[in-house]
Amino acid sequence: MSRRRKLISIYARIARTYVSRGPSLLLLAVIVFVPLGLLDALAAEVDLNSLDVSGGIKVAALLAAVSAVTLTGLLGEVFYSGAVAISLTHPDHEQPPSILEVARRLNYLRLILVDIFYVTIVLVGLLAVIVPGVLVFVWFGLSGPVVELEDRTVRGALARSWRLVRHNFWLVFFVLVPIEIAGDTIGEALSGLVHDLLGHTLLAGWLAESVANIFLTPVFAIAAVLLTVDLIAEKDGTGPRIEPSPAPAPAPA
């Protein structure tokens, strides 16, 4: 199959999965991103207030503000992708796991550590030059699903993500990067709309960041899980599978 057909197929599957699993994935996103939305809003407030300085302090404040916004903007994506991996790969013919079951099965410490490490190295790459940051973003973007699908350690998940991506870099690039850019663009537009309606307050910022992440991050997470499952199967010949949602029971006569 050509790369273009693969891309079209993956995007179509992302859309179908979002529609079919939407309610459970959005509820899971609420639990993860409402608290993180507050961190995003606080980072934006710090960004606005820190730049009222001059000289070298202004440069340091600018770097700190960019770092804070980037950190909180990406934080949670890897963790949430791991949770979505559990939700989408339930055993055949079984109901998708409930939110409580997903919560019980999550490797919290590993996912949090992978998330923080991933965000940090992406941030360092972006502050150095844009290209290294993008490379890191793509190479290690599958580490969250790998933690849950293969029960890998932090180091093992990052290494496995790199091995899966290195021979399929452009496929992963043209899935994850456009989704991330589109999500950021839509999120910024939504944030501007909320601020126009409610003013530039912490509450408005919290609402804008939370809503944007709740509705947009599932797209990135679904993409990461689908890519991970496909690339594991391609590399190993077997592996976890994305199970379709069980058909609804027929209505009683």
Predicted local distance difference test score (pLDDT) of residue 69: 47
CA 162 to mean position of chain CA atoms: 17
Q: Is residue 225 predicted with pLDDT exceeding 60?
A: yes
Calculate mean pLDDT across residues 98-119: 87
Q: Taking residues 211-215, what's their average pLDDT?
A: 89
CA distances to 54, 142, 168, 230, 232 from 227, rounded to whole Å, are 46, 8, 10, 5, 8
Separation of alpha carbons 116 and 226, rounded Å = 22
Q: What is the DSSP string of 169-187?
A: HHHHHHHHHHHHHHHHHHH
Higher pLDDT, 60 or 226: 226
Question: Please, what is the Cα angle at 167 between 218 and 76, to 5 degrees?
Answer: 25
pLDDT, tens digit, 9 for 90 and up, residues 152-201: 999 999 999 999 999 999 999 999 999 999 988 998 888 888 888 888 78
Average pLDDT, the chain: 81
User: Residue 87 gets which letter from DSSP?
Assistant: H
The long-range contacts involving 184-193, CB below 8 angstroms and separated by at least 24 positions, are 184/73, 186/212, 186/216, 187/212, 187/213, 187/216
The answer to whether 176 and 220 are in contact (CB under 8 A) is yes
Residue found by looking up tokens 């050509």 in the block: 2
Q: What are the φ and ψ backbone dihedral angles of 95, each rounded to 5 degrees?
A: -65, 145
Each residue's pLDDT tens digit, 128-162: 667 788 899 999 999 999 999 999 999 999 999 99
pLDDT tens, residue by residue, 48-59: 444 454 545 544
Q: Where are the domains of the chain?
A: 3-236
